[in-house]
């Protein structure tokens, strides 16, 4: 039997196809779970600026993956064509937040499970994973608030007084950079605050010789 005879045989015609009801149920569930994923992403986002388009992408991705898997499992010829079409797609958008990758895979996996007819697994696993993400994302413990302090001093005396105030006011500070020029001395310092108070910035600015004091929120990757 040649390759042509295989594709002319009846096994392609006997492949089970999804009914209209199955398709509507799968799409409705993928839409509902996609909304759930989007809401979890919104509540657990810790980046600089929440992207609404990325949340919509998670919703669309779950629905599109569901349609793709239904097509693959219902017709062998279409599945081969889809593999060839998807092989030429190139994605060049950079993922800045590592956690975004988990949400992308979550949407894809949900679409695969719904497209394959594993509805209970898709629903219960999404609920469990969503609860875990909400608990971890909204967890608040004794984590210090991290800031970047940019301080400009006119002379060494002002610099020394600023260092003494920082030792008394913050839990920990680390000098990141120091620039000395004709206009004075500029510090870039990472400070860690336990109780969230930022009154020390007023004390720093009150020092004779300090021309400016700027405090910027910092999460390890971005400055807000």
Position 144 scores a pLDDT of 57
pLDDT tens, position by position, 23-41: 888 899 999 999 999 999 9
In order of start, what are the domains of the chain with their CATH numbers? 3-137 (no CATH), 145-217 (3.30.70.1710)
The predicted model scores a pTM of 0.60
Of the candidates 39, 35, 33, 46, the residue with the CA atom closest to the CA atom of residue 139: 46
pLDDT band for position 208 (cuts 50, 70, 90): confident
Roughly what angle, to the nearest 10 degrees, separates helices 52-74 and 76-86?
140
Percent residues over pLDDT 70 in the chain: 72
Under a CB-based contact definition with an 8 Å cutoff, are residues 215 and 169 in contact? no
pLDDT tens, position by position, 111-124: 888 888 888 999 99
* Residue 172 parent element (H or E): strand 172-181
Position 200 scores a pLDDT of 83
Residues linked to residue 173 through DSSP beta bridges, in sequence order: 191
Long-range CB pairs of 126-135, under 8 A, 24+ apart, other chains included: 126/33, 126/36, 126/37, 127/36, 130/36, 130/37, 130/40, 133/40, 133/44, 134/40, 134/43, 134/44
Position 222 scores a pLDDT of 47
State both tokens at 48: 């600089």
CA atoms of 100 and 58, how far apart (whole Å): 10
| Per-residue pLDDT at 179 exceeds 90 | no
């Amino acid at each position: 039997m040649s390759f042509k005879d295989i594709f002319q045989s009846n096994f392609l015609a006997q492949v089970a196809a999804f009914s209209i009801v199955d398709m509507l149920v799968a799409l409705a569930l993928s839409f509902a779970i996609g909304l759930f994923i989007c809401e979890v992403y919104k509540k657990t986002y810790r980046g600089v600026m929440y992207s609404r388009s990325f949340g919509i992408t998670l919703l669309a991705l779950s629905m599109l993956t569901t349609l793709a898997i239904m097509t693959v499992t219902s017709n062998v010829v279409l599945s081969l064509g889809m593999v060839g079409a998807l092989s030429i797609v190139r994605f060049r958008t950079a993922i800045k937040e590592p956690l975004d990758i988990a949400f992308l895979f979550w949407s894809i996996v949900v679409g695969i499970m719904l497209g394959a007819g594993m509805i209970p697994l898709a629903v219960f696993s999404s609920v469990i994973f969503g609860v875990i993400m909400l608990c971890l994302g909204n967890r608040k413990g004794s984590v210090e608030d991290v800031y970047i302090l940019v301080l400009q001093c006119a002379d060494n005396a002002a610099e020394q007084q600023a260092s003494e105030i920082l030792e008394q006011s913050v839990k920990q500070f680390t000098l990141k950079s120091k620039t000395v020029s004709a206009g004075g001395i500029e510090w870039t310092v990472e400070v860690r605050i336990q109780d969230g108070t930022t009154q020390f910035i007023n004390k720093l600015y009150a020092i004779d010789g300090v021309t400016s004091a700027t405090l910027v929120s910092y999460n390890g990757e971005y400055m807000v």
